[in-house]
Amino acid sequence: MSQCCRKIKDTVQKLASDHKDIHSSVSRVGKAIDRNFDSEICGVVSDAVWDSREKQQQTLQMAILEHLYQQGMLSVAEELCQESTLNVDLDFKQPFLELNRILEALHEQDLGPALEWAVSHRQRLLELNSSLEFKLHRLQFIRLLAGGPEKQLEALSYARHFQPFAHVHQREIQVMMGSLVYLQLGLEKSPYCHLLDNSHWAEICETFTRDACSLLGLSVESPLSVSFASGCVALPVLMNIKAVMEQRQCSGVWSHKDELPIEIELGMKCWYHSVFACPILRQQTSDSNPPIKLICGHVISRDALNKLINGGKLKCPYCPMEQNPADGKRIIF
């Protein structure tokens, strides 16, 4: 009994010692989290800047729903629709359903659905200067080449599909025709072995996603993922600005939801449209204060135009031309 008691006591002491080490490590993690993460992130922006809470919730739910559809998580998106009581019509879902159906086929190296879609949208793709249809036909031709000499006649017959693209993709077509010379010896050991590279499948998926989204009026990346990435970049800067505004007691500086109190560089990938800063007021134009083109060709903001009106006439601040303010035209970049 005394030996058992001794063993139990030693075991308990060992467990207590181990627990002390673990507890020390866990407590340091908690302190590190408290030191590096701000628990009051929601307080960075005043609630008065945004819409009502119900409007915010609905906007967020729609952004999550669109992200799920765009990522192909159709069952999860349908479950969210049911639980959140969102009313989403079929016209909203259809582009995503079609996009994911074709992408799934491409991942399985089935070019049929993508080729059918590209042919049916040929004219609109040409207006976008898209080479999607040619790349799909090229990949189908390469698949026939990979079949060896037995597929040579079929490949030659399929090459007729390149005829409409000959004036734009002549060099690439010549390369594919030249590869036929090495078909008997084996394409993988020829100077044309790069045609069999699997990277072509990843490239065609990216090309289809980009061109299909442009055609369907969708963004390549979901608004939710773009907003999240942009928020991660902007949040530290906004937290610093908030601290400075509180210190200097100028919280009223940021009161508009369509602009930030300071410019934040998000990188070229987040440039979706041009911006124009009024050369008179040094302010970026917006929907409520759009850029106006004067008769002389100079462009200023509407607020600047209203301030420059004198006696019903407007004199351009850059040239001596006098004109009627009503002759100014709003421009969209």
The pLDDT of residue 46 is: 62
Any domain includes 153: yes
Task: Check if the beta carbon of residue 74 is closer than 8 Å to that of residue 95.
Answer: no
**For residue 323, what are the β-bridge partners?**
314
Same domain, 116 and 211: yes
* Residue 296: closest CA among 285, 306, 305, 284: 305
The pLDDT of residue 26 is: 78
pLDDT digits (tens, 9 = 90+) for 263-301: 788 877 777 777 788 888 888 888 888 899 988 889 999
Any domain includes 180: yes
pLDDT digits (tens, 9 = 90+) for 131-168: 888 898 888 888 888 888 888 888 888 888 888 888 88
Any residues with CB less than 8 A from the CB of 95 and at least 6 apart, and which? 216, 217, 218
- pLDDT-derived band at 246 (thresholds 50, 70, 90) equals confident
- Domain span at residue 281? 276-330
Q: How many domains does the chain have?
A: 2
Any residues with CB less than 8 A from the CB of 40 and at least 6 apart, and which? none
pLDDT digits (tens, 9 = 90+) for 60-98: 888 888 888 888 788 888 888 888 777 777 778 888 888
Find the radius of gyration of the CA atoms of the chain: 31
> Average of pLDDT values for 95-104?
86
Any domain includes 317: yes
The pLDDT of residue 47 is: 62
The pLDDT of residue 324 is: 87
Q: What is the CATH number of the domain that holds 282?
A: 3.30.40.10
Whether the pTM exceeds 0.75: the reply is: no
Any domain includes 262: no
Separation CA 220–CA 70 (nearest Å): 9
> Average of pLDDT values for 208-228?
84
* Residue 243: closest CA among 266, 258, 261, 259: 261
The pLDDT of residue 42 is: 66
- End residue of a domain, out of 199, 216, 233: 216
> Average of pLDDT values for 232-253?
75
Separation CA 235–CA 189 (nearest Å): 54
Above pLDDT 70, what percent of the chain? 92
Separation CA 103–CA 113 (nearest Å): 9
Residue 263 tokens, joined: 């410019």
